[in-house]
Amino acid sequence: MRSRLLAALLSLLAISALPAQAQTSTSAEESSIINNGLQKLDVKTGSGKELQSGNIAVVHYTGWIYDSFAPRERGPQFDSSVGRGVFSFPVGTGKVIKGWDQGVVGMKVGGKRTLIVPSEMAYGARGAGAMIPPHSTLIFDIELLDVR
């Protein structure tokens, strides 16, 4: 009995520690947590070809530093392909951060997904230049435009 109570309490604590965006879901948004705390929130489910490891993903994206006090948890924006041109990468080959390699699999063309990527699946202790400090959790809004 005591172990069940402890397990239930730990589950509640884990859920309450998630960003508010990952705790809620509506019929139009489906949230899931996968490997190592990576969070996926499907904002719009696509109807085209499904993206698998080994495919080339063609996307538009915008990235922010996670900030629990900022509107929609989006702190400073550090990068975006919108207005600059699409971004293409081979999925599952380590050419992008682990959070992207794992977080985009299963998207369908036309879909939009938000990824909340823990530091360990992004740039970790090293950060990335002046824009992404060490140990930063990142948020990405991704739109899958094509699968090759």
Active site residue 79: yes
Confirm if 37 and 118 have CB atoms less than 8 A apart. yes
Query: 87 catalytic, yes or no?
Result: no
Beta bridge partner(s), residue 21:
none
- Candidate from 15-24, 63-72, 115-124 with smallest mean pLDDT: 15-24
Q: Return the pLDDT at 34.
A: 65
Structure tokens at 62: 């915008």
pLDDT of residue 12: 34
- Could you tell me which of 77, 66, 78 has the C-alpha nearest to residue 17? 66
Active-site residue flag, 15: no
* From 33, 34, 67, 78, the catalytic residue: 78
Tell me how far apart the alpha carbons of residues 25 and 111 are, in angstroms, rounded to a whole number: 16
Mean pLDDT within 34-62:
94
Is residue 21 predicted with pLDDT exceeding 50?
Answer: no
Q: pLDDT at position 35, please?
A: 60
Percent of the chain with pLDDT over 90: 76
Catalytic residue among 66, 123, 139, 142: 123
pLDDT for 135 beyond 90: yes
> Confidence band (pLDDT; 50, 70, 90) for 26?
very low
Contact, 49 vs 147, CB < 8 A?
Answer: yes
How many residues comprise the chain? 148
Active-site residue flag, 123: yes
Q: Return phi, psi of residue 33, to 5°.
A: -115, 130
Which one of the listed residues 66, 101, 140, 141 is annotated catalytic? 140
Rounded Cα distance, 116 and 141, in Å: 9
